[in-house]
Amino acid sequence: MSRSVETNHNIVFDCKYHVVFCPKYRKKVLTEPVDIRLKELFLEKAMELCAEIVEMEIMPDHVHLLIKCDPQFGIHRVVKHLKGFTSRVLRMEFRHLKSRLPSLWTNAYFVATVGTVQLDVIKKYIESQKERSD
């Protein structure tokens, strides 16, 4: 992964998040053609939110996304918008989802930050800053 930074005129950032979430009851409903449409919807909504989906994989019972977004907007808001939008559209377009599930997604999700450098490198860099200012 190359190091590219973004700016929102307030901050310069390089924030990437690994996000995983599941359909309600972990039902295996994300199969063709639902999975293909879901990918399209994720990309469409991410662009609207000024976020970038760097990678994505749709499994029958869960979703993996690697998302780059503005930390001031927040990963929580990005995930909330992605889940809400895709649930609404997919349940309208694929009637079987509406009859099998009270809502498409669970409320919960997993998120972890993804760095371009290792933690120990950053710790050493921060520690060395005091020495530089002396």
Mean pLDDT, rounded, of the chain: 90
The reply to whether 109 belongs to the active site is no
Express as a percent the part of the chain with pLDDT over 90: 69
Distance CA 59, CA 39 (A): 11
In which band, very low, low, confident or very high, does the pLDDT at 1 lie, cut at 50, 70 and 90? very low
Express as a percent the part of the chain with pLDDT over 70: 90
Residue 3 has pLDDT above 90, yes or no: no
pLDDT at 134: 56
Distance CA 109, CA 95 (A): 24
How many CA atoms lie less than 13 Å away from 62 in the CB half-sphere?
A: 9
Residue 67 has pLDDT above 80, yes or no: yes
Of 21-25, 52-56, 72-76, 111-115, the least confident: 111-115
User: Global pTM?
Assistant: 0.85
Distance CA 108, CA 9 (A): 32
Distances in whole angstroms, Cα of residue 18 to Cα of each of 21, 100, 115? 10, 28, 10
How many CA atoms lie less than 13 Å away from 42 in the CB half-sphere?
A: 22
Q: Which residue has the higher pLDDT, 8 or 19?
A: 19
Q: What angle do CA 64, 18, 34 make, to 5 degrees?
A: 20
pLDDT at 126: 67
Kindly list the strands in the beta sheet with 110-114, ordered across the sheet, starting from the edge strand earlier in the chain: 52-59, 62-68, 16-21, 110-114
pLDDT at 70: 92
pLDDT at 28: 97
Residue 20 one-letter amino acid: V
Which residue, among 121, 94, 113, 102, has the nearest Cα to 37 in the 3D structure? 94
Catalytic-role residue among 17, 25, 109, 125 = 125
Residue 77 has pLDDT above 60, yes or no: yes
